[in-house]
Amino acid sequence: MIKYNTNNIKELEHLFKINLINSATGYKSANLIGTKSVNGQENVAVFSSVVHLGSNPALLGFICRPTTVPRHTYKNIIETKTYTINHIHQDILEDAHHTSAKYPENISEFNKTNLQPEYIGNCTAPFVKNAPVQLELKFIEEMNIVANDTILVIGEIINLYVKEDLLQQDGLIDLSKGKVAAINGLDAYAVPETNIRFEYQRPK
């Protein structure tokens, strides 16, 4: 095993450090968050920090660094209270990753990639067309993480759309059937081909 302690980590070259620490949690969720500004400007950006907070109510969180590129996403959510979360799948990996480029606020990533916005129902924020899972979120609250000046943005799922062939009889969304990706670090994407399920576990 190779070992890094706190001081080693602090002294690492920047890119090496962010590659290492971003891989240290294991696989991460791969999502595109869609928003629209109050002026009607569309935005879509890749996030790897969407996390399940609870099912009843159905709450999800994600981590935002307001001083870096996703601030358009954050600003739009705070102003409009609405956003979409769309699963990244095999066919859109390269375009999804390209949304990490730092475009100015008046440029829509939808116009710089083959990603297509889709509007469903009354949701003012764009979904990503053909994503196997599309979620409409209502902003609930934000929490400042003092330790490193980041923000946990919390939202409730108010509409969930899932491709029929992914949905199992007991409610599981089979992500491998949808060729959904997971993120490894900052720039590596894995698309698992299958999965293994286990029973509910009781003491033995």
Closest by CA position to 32, among listed 121, 134, 102? 134
Q: Which stretch binds a second copy (CB under 8 A): 14-22, 33-41, 75-83?
A: 14-22
CB 86 within 8 A of CB 133: yes
Q: Which stretch binds a second copy (CB under 8 A): 35-43, 71-79, 173-181?
A: 173-181
What is the four-CA torsion angle of 72, 73, 79, 80, rounded to 10 degrees? 140
- d(CA 86, CA 73) in angstroms, rounded, equals 14
- Residue from 74, 83, 110, 189 that binds a second copy (CB under 8 A)? 189
| 145 part of the interface to a second copy, by CB under 8 A | yes
| 160 part of the interface to a second copy, by CB under 8 A | yes
- d(CA 153, CA 81) in angstroms, rounded, equals 11
Q: Which of residues 69-108 bind a second copy (CB under 8 A)?
A: 85, 87-88, 93-94, 97-103, 107
Q: Which stretch binds a second copy (CB under 8 A): 33-41, 72-80, 193-201?
A: 193-201
**Residue 16: in which H helix or E strand, if any?**
helix 14-23
| 128 part of the interface to a second copy, by CB under 8 A | no
The CB-of-108 to a second copy minimum distance in angstroms stands at 12
What is the maximum alpha-carbon separation in the chain?
59
The CB-of-188 to a second copy minimum distance in angstroms stands at 4
- d(CA 131, CA 139) in angstroms, rounded, equals 21
The CB-of-34 to a second copy minimum distance in angstroms stands at 15
